[in-house]
Structure 1
Amino acid sequence: MSHDTPAPLSPRPLSHLAEAQHRVMTSAGLRAHGVSAAETKEHCRSGGPWQQFLPGVYLLHPGPPTDEERLHAVLRYAARTAAPRAAAGVPAQPTARQPHRPVFPEAVITGLAALVLHGFAAAPPLCALEQIDVLVPRTRRLRSTGCARIVRTAELPAPDAVAGLPVAPAPRALADAVAGLADAAAVRSLLTEAVRCGHCEPVAVVRELTAARLLSRPHVADAVDALATDGRAAAEDRLYRMVREHGLPDPVWNVDLRLPGGPHLGGADAYWPEQAVAVELDTRAARRGARQDEDALRSEHARKREDLERLGITLVHLTPRKLRESLAQQATVVRTALMAAADREPAAYVVALPR
């Protein structure tokens, strides 16, 4: 035997397999433990200790699977024929040397199951899902079967690691879930929770729904209209908290800025007249067609900033994500702008009207 030829693995006792972390294994994983196809078939006979759950995927116990086992089984089924993409030296399937290391190349949990894993309260529990959606490259020759529903995609998203499983990011999982839902109330509940609970930004949701061509469905379009309103309301609440909890002076809220007798300069969510500092929340992109309008929105914002700065007014641009993830830091940004007013030339007089 040459030095380049690995020594064969010694068969592991079958009792060891029954104690595996998830008690779910593939044909390849069993072979790595020295279990032949004939032995596997014998253990899966009627009344035997094992069962075939999906093609090429086995439960190493006779009872019904747990929710965790179903997730692992679906991933192992979807990944079992994928070309390994792991780092050198890391096997694509569990082996006798690494029996508890699940690797799932080219398979990502998505849809309602992914939303459950992300913590969505509006998603039904895993035990209520007859099928679990799993993303695979569209070139894969794999069919839906049992509780595994194959969802093909041109490009797999970079997965989030949730409970040790590859899970689609919340916006993508949401779009895949909505694609299979005809219930308008269920769609609206999921979209509303996504924004209100901070799972994802409205613009990211709209982008994924647009990419999936779901905005042509009336019940989805209506839910997105409500999503924009919910997203703005949540961001405004955080802005109020920022001013209150971080000791900023009270601004005037929600005003339109105009030159006396002159043109409209734009709106401000908060404005400090004495310091000539305006805060604008960027929630405009969370509406239908936002993907196509992003260049126009950026151009509009740049024009507004230039017009205000020519008049000596500082415009602070805040996003819902910044307010959610770093409220104290955003308060510092606003406070710095307010303090810098003393070193600037006096601003032009503008009229602030309620909007």
Structure 2
Amino acid sequence: MNHNTPLSPRPLNELSGAQRRVLSARQLREHGITAALAAERCRPGGPWQQLLPGVYLLHSGPPTGEERLHAVLLYAGRVPAGAGPRGSVPAQSAPADRGGRRPNPYGDAMITGLAALTLHGFATAPPLPAIDRIDVLVPRTRRLRSTEHVHIVRAHALPRPLNVTDLPVAPVPRALADAVGQLTDAAAVRRLLTEAVRGGHCEAAAVVRELTQARLLSRSHVVDAVDTLIAEGRAMAENRLYEMVRLHALPDPLWNVDLRLPGGPPLGGLDAYWPEHAVALEIDARSPRTDDDALWSEYARKRETLERLGITVVHVTPKKLREALEQQAEVVRAALLAASEREPAAYVVVLPR
């Protein structure tokens, strides 16, 4: 037996959807179809067509958006679906694990950029048929070229892909960075970044971190969009904080205040303050664009000063407010209940911020 011998041929009807209509050369060999027969069927007027090098569409009509995505992933995957030692089970037909998940048939390749954002449900991303070139993320060591409607994006470290409509798709922050890297329209960049936060896809800090790593913050139109993004993220976090107090029946605090010692220096600003309980709350909205160590030192100094005066400080992050609102409410409630067990706090002046 040589490398051209079909391995455990299986009927094509065992596959489903686009996986049945888009196959790699290796998969075709597994189904008993030789390279010569595939070439014959792809001749002008034939029933098949070759979409990409080594990737075939098993009908003669225009490919759908789903078929294009499968073709791109088969082209870019480290190990084409079905590859493996002689006699092994092809990836597309491998049994599911205990969680019902099937192995990724596209190796380590994943859809990123605008196509990924479309799959994630972004209203501001174009529909798949309108995307001329599909971005696909692969390891930096891959020897693979962009071709036709495939744009290869390389990464030193790949993120963990998400399964979206049975396709491996880059997480939203990484997909955004790859999309923004290809865009020069400032309005389009701003719309995408704003929807990421406003639509609840991810936190502003995660997006800024990816844009920083991609070295995109040297572009003025990206910086302007990031300023809007951070403001949007801050506003969303504040709204969730208001919602936390209301939904979990916490006492109403004084919102957005500055504390000051009588006749002394300012103690800093707070997002919420319960004066009767001497409990302060601050949203930790640090951005990777700033010096995290310096900013955290400022947070730590403020907290140390307030706690020395008998004021309990609770820090919350936008992510925790989004993902664990009830848990954060219990943290605040515990701090309020513990007030009666503490020594009375020093008198401070509370001013609107």
Same fold (TM over 0.5): yes
Deviation at 1:341, TM superposition (A): 0.5
Structure 1 pair 18–261 and aligned structure 2 pair: CA distance change class (3 A): closer
Structure 1 pair 10–248 and aligned structure 2 pair: CA distance change class (3 A): closer
CA distance in 2, matches of 1:254, 1:130: 47
Task: Output the TM-score relative to the length of structure 1.
Answer: 0.89
**1:247-274: CA deviations, max 9, x gaps?**
1111111001111111211111010000
| Structure 2 partner of 1:266 | 268
Q: Secondary structure at the match of 2:285?
A: coil
**Which residues in structure 2 correspond to 1:250-261 (within 5 Å)?**
250-261=252-263
Amino acid at match of 1:163: T
| Structure 1 partner of 2:280 | 278
**1:111-151: CA deviations, max 9, x gaps?**
00111111111111111101110011222221111221111
**1:208-264: CA deviations, max 9, x gaps?**
111111111110001111111111111111111111121111111100111111121
| Structure 2 partner of 1:227 | 229
Q: How high is the sequence identity, in percent, across the aligned residues? A: 68
CA distance in 1, matches of 2:17, 2:318: 47
Task: Output the TM-score relative to the length of structure 2.
Answer: 0.90
Deviation at 1:45, TM superposition (A): 1.6
**1:299-346: CA deviations, max 9, x gaps?**
222222111111110111111111111212211111111111111110
Structure 2 portions without partners, runs of 5+: 97-101
Is the Cα contact below 8 Å between 2:82 and 2:92 reproduced in 1? no
Q: Secondary structure at the match of 2:299?
A: helix
Deviation at 1:22, TM superposition (A): 4.1
Q: Secondary structure at the match of 1:336?
A: helix
Deviation at 1:9, TM superposition (A): 3.8
CA distance in 2, matches of 1:69, 1:275: 61
| Structure 2 partner of 1:4 | none
CA distance in 1, matches of 2:316, 2:12: 59
| Structure 1 partner of 2:135 | 133
CA distance in 2, matches of 1:349, 1:34: 84
The reply on whether 1:188 has 2:186 as its aligned counterpart is: no
**Which residues in structure 2 correspond to 1:279-294 (within 5 Å)?**
279-285=281-287, 289-290=289-290, 293-294=291-292
1:329 to 323, 327, 334: 327
Is the Cα contact below 8 Å between 1:28 and 1:93 reproduced in 2? no
CA distance in 2, matches of 1:146, 1:247: 58
| Structure 1 partner of 2:29 | 31
Is the Cα contact below 8 Å between 2:245 and 2:329 reproduced in 1? yes
| Structure 2 partner of 1:48 | 46
Structure 1 pair 85–231 and aligned structure 2 pair: CA distance change class (3 A): farther
1:57 to 50, 55, 70: 55
Q: Secondary structure at the match of 2:282?
A: strand
Is the Cα contact below 8 Å between 2:278 and 2:339 reproduced in 1? yes
The reply on whether 1:236 has 2:238 as its aligned counterpart is: yes
Structure 1 pair 238–102 and aligned structure 2 pair: CA distance change class (3 A): closer
Structure 1 pair 85–296 and aligned structure 2 pair: CA distance change class (3 A): farther
CA distance in 2, matches of 1:233, 1:187: 19
Q: Which moved more, 1:216-225 or 1:156-165?
A: 156-165
CA distance in 1, matches of 2:272, 2:17: 60
CA distance in 2, matches of 1:33, 1:97: 18
Amino acid at match of 1:347: A
Structure 1 portions without partners, runs of 5+: 2-6
**1:85-129: CA deviations, max 9, x gaps?**
999x9767547999x975111211110011111111111111110
CA distance in 1, matches of 2:141, 2:204: 31
Amino acid at match of 1:28: R
CA distance in 1, matches of 2:57, 2:232: 44
Amino acid at match of 2:44: S
CA distance in 2, matches of 1:174, 1:205: 7
| Structure 2 partner of 1:345 | 343
Deviation at 1:198, TM superposition (A): 1.7
Is the Cα contact below 8 Å between 1:22 and 1:68 reproduced in 2? no
| Structure 1 partner of 2:301 | 303
Q: Secondary structure at the match of 1:301?
A: helix
| Structure 1 partner of 2:219 | 217
CA distance in 2, matches of 1:213, 1:149: 19
Structure 1 pair 8–226 and aligned structure 2 pair: CA distance change class (3 A): closer
CA distance in 1, matches of 2:41, 2:141: 34
Name segments (4+ residues, structure 1) moved above 2 Å: 7-22, 80-87, 89-98
Amino acid at match of 2:310: G
Deviation at 1:66, TM superposition (A): 1.4
Structure 1 pair 107–236 and aligned structure 2 pair: CA distance change class (3 A): same
| Structure 2 partner of 1:312 | 310
Is the Cα contact below 8 Å between 1:109 and 1:168 reproduced in 2? yes
